Amino acid sequence: MKIRAAKLSDASGIAKVHVDSWRTTYKNIIPDEFLNNLSYQKREELWSNKILNGNVFVAKNDEGKNVGFSSGGKERSGKYKEYQGELSSIYILKEFQGQGIGKSLAKPVIKELGKLGINTMFVFVLEDNNSRLFYEAMGGKIIDKIEVEIAGKKLNELVYGWDNISNS
């Protein structure tokens, strides 16, 4: 498995991982109609723009296929001022989960935050998403619980925070 900074040519592979992992991760959490209507093309456009801004990383298997990605940067919500960094996404294809790829994808985001002098971080995760256990295993502590609406369905989102990521 190789983890590296994403290039513009990775956008379509990231889009595929994004859509496919949403469909498996959020099945029975987010309405099927919403998940079925996710578009590879729209996600590719979104990721093309994000890649240009940096701090997006990809995990490629030995055949060179994108199997996961991560992104992050400065805190965007304005609500968690004591947490300056944000891990905005980690998605991994279902068949590659549980192999340590998530932790490997978090490390470069944390390293980039460190270069900005940031040593605190948070992440949003749906309460019904079993991946929240990954963030707990990484030492994240629940700092907030908020209600969000996705496709007309009200869901709880947990906010996990890390007070010191410099040792991660």
Q: State residue 65's pLDDT score.
A: 93
- Please provide the distance, in angstroms rounded to a whole number, between the alpha carbons at the two ends of the chain: 20
Closest CA to 116 of 47, 166, 56: 166
In DSSP terms, 86 is beta-bridged to: 73, 122
Q: State residue 77's pLDDT score.
A: 83
| pTM across the whole model | 0.93
| CA-to-CA separations, 68 to 6, 107, 159, in angstroms, rounded | 11, 14, 22
Give, for all 168 residues of the chain, the pLDDT tens digit: 999 999 999 999 999 999 999 999 999 999 999 999 999 999 999 999 999 988 999 999 999 999 999 999 999 888 898 999 999 999 999 999 999 999 999 999 999 999 999 999 999 999 999 889 999 999 999 999 999 999 999 999 999 999 999 766
DSSP secondary structure of 66-118: EEEEEEEEE--SSS-TT--EEEEEEEE-GGGTTSSHHHHHHHHHHHHHHHTT-
Q: Cβ(70)–Cβ(90) under 8 Å?
A: yes
